[in-house]
Amino acid sequence: MIVYIEDIKTTWASIMRALSDQFPLLSTARLHLIEIDHPHQPDLFYLLTDKRVTRYYHVMPLNEVADVRKVVEFFKQRFREKKGIRWGIAHDKKTELIGVIGFNSFEPEDSAMLVFALVQEYWGKGYMTEAIEAVVAYAFSTLELKSIQADVLPGNEASEKVLTKTGFHHEGLLPEGMQWEGKGYDVNRYVRKAETL
């Protein structure tokens, strides 16, 4: 497939128009999806240093809570530049984060790359299902995306299960489809199209 530069510019322009300068807050029956800010650094440190979480989720090395400042700044910069968006997942009326979800990048042809991670104590309770459905609805209705992609490292059955449950289908294995620190990783590509909303 050939993707022309003008097509990419048109896609980004439409996303930038739809993505407000004010961070969008989303809610589900049990969750609030909020902007990640510096007071959340301890929550992110707990999440992103848990080897059970990061086994299939590449993150920069974090040795202390202060190191998370770079992560928060990265999320904020991506949103300011309209290149991506990452929500913090808060349970009910609490402000502590139990996870993160969002679009690491907006892709050509009105698509986006979904990423998510959840504190291990909340696995298997349907929270990520709720969060994904809220983000997908926002992406298709407000951002008017045509599809959402998610790349999953082989063996990550929990993420594959929640993606399938939320309407994504497996498109196939992409050899070295993910690059991290100069190394290629095979990934399973999952896709959900707007008409399946």
Q: Diameter of the chain by CA atoms? A: 47
Which pLDDT belongs to residue 14?
Answer: 58
Residue 160 belongs to some domain of the structure: no
Residue 185 belongs to some domain of the structure: no
Q: Whose CA is closest to 194, among 142, 119, 157?
A: 142
> Which residues, including other chains, have CB under 8 Å from residue 132's CB and lie 6 or more apart?
101, 114, 116, 162, 163, 166
CA distances in angstroms from 95 to 18, 108, 149, 150, listed in the order given: 27, 34, 29, 27
Residue 177 belongs to some domain of the structure: no
User: Which residue, chain included where needed, has tokens 């990048």?
Assistant: 105
Q: Whose CA is closest to 15, among 129, 124, 148?
A: 148
Check: CB of residue 65 under 8 Å from CB of residue 42.
yes
**Any idea what the CATH number is for the domain that residue 115 is in?**
3.40.630.30
Residue 38 belongs to some domain of the structure: yes
Helix/strand number for the chain, H first, E second: 6, 8
Residue 130 belongs to some domain of the structure: yes
Residue 35 belongs to some domain of the structure: yes
> Which residues, including other chains, have CB under 8 Å from residue 182's CB and lie 6 or more apart?
none
pLDDT digits (tens, 9 = 90+) for 141-173: 999 999 999 999 999 999 999 999 999 999 999
Check: CB of residue 191 under 8 Å from CB of residue 152.
no
- Could you give the CA distance from residue 1 to residue 15 in angstroms, rounded to a whole number? 22
Residue 164 belongs to some domain of the structure: no
Q: Whose CA is closest to 88, among 99, 79, 74, 104?
A: 99
Q: Which domain holds residue 130?
A: 5-147
State the pTM of this model: 0.87
The DSSP element (H or E) to which 93 belongs, if any, is none
Does the pLDDT of residue 197 top 80, yes or no?
A: no
* Percent of the chain scoring above 70 in pLDDT: 89
- Could you give the CA distance from residue 135 to residue 33 in angstroms, rounded to a whole number? 9
Q: Whose CA is closest to 100, among 108, 78, 109, 81?
A: 78
pLDDT digits (tens, 9 = 90+) for 28-61: 999 999 999 999 999 999 999 999 998 887 777 7
Residue 27 belongs to some domain of the structure: yes
Model confidence at 17, pLDDT cuts 50, 70, 90, reads low
